[in-house]
Amino acid sequence: MSTEALDPRYLGLDLWPTETAVEAMLEGQMAAIAAIQSQTAAIARAAEAAAARLDQGGRLVFTGAGTSGRLAVQDGTELLPTFGWPMERMVFLMAGGIGALTEAREGAEDDVAAGQAEIVACGIGPSDVVIGVAASGRTPYTVAAITQARAAGALTIAIANNPATALLEAAEHAVIAVTGSEVVAGSTRMKAGTAQKAVLNLLSTAIMIRLGLVYKGRMVAMRISNAKLLQRGRRMVQDIAGVEADVAARALETAANDIRLGVIVATGISAEEARALLEDHRGSLRAVFRTLEERQ
């Protein structure tokens, strides 16, 4: 596998001046991002297909082992605070269990039966989206989970760093970032990991956009959990609704800090009607405004 190959250019890495070594590693990180350029269409197709499934009420499922699994879980956990994606519609399947997030359990990646059983135990079905991540593209646990999920009718997406591998073949949608050998041989937490995180960021954000959770470039479904985010939420309501700061603050308070609801309330609509509009349009603020414009 190219991700585990030894690059002769770096055989003396441990003897280099530290700054030179850091520069070499940085070049590797930049190359990792460049490796994604050819995959934008594949990421877009996967995101659109995923949004269509999730629009039916399904769950986002992230699965992987080791570094790849931890990166997948990290990306998923950011969706609640960033886009308001509910945790009850999120599933994390990590080889070795959630404890493997902080303590490496590398042997767990070979457990095919566990990968299959956990998909079955979670009741994964046709409305769900399962994203599997593996640098090698052949991790038995992850391949088994994706294969089982696809057999159950779920939409499956694979992210890998080696071409023509079992994981990519098992999934309905495949995203491959060929990052090649690492500066430190076998350390896929570096180039491969960087590319994986970037792909996950692009994919999950594109899904949220297609689900209507972004409006005019703003995270209007963001969860307000501190004073800084409260101020940001008030500014969003003020800018989008085109009202004064005090009106925006009152509207957001009436909306119990739900930014989308606050925007609609700030336009003069009651909280009850605003809530019904959002529910009818599955949380899409743009769709709500389109309906309101048609009324005029």
Q: Do residues 145 and 130 make contact, with C-beta atoms less than 8 angstroms apart? A: yes
Tell me which residue has tokens 């209507």. Answer: 212
Query: In angstroms, how far apart are the furthest CA atoms of the chain?
Result: 72
Considering the candidates 4, 19, 48, 78, report the single residue annotated as catalytic. 78
Residue 137 tokens, joined: 């593209």
State which amino acid sits at residue 167. L
> Is 294 an annotated catalytic residue?
no
CA dihedral (149, 39, 86, 212) positive or negative? negative
- The full DSSP string for 219-283 is -TT----SHHHHHHHHHHHHHHHT--HHHHHHHHHHTTT-HHHHHHHHTT--HHHHHHHHHHTTT
The verdict on whether 78 is a catalytic residue reads: yes
Q: Say how far apart CA 203 and CA 191 lie, in whole Å.
A: 18
Catalytic residue (one of 109, 118, 244, 273):
109
**Residues involved in catalysis:** 78, 109
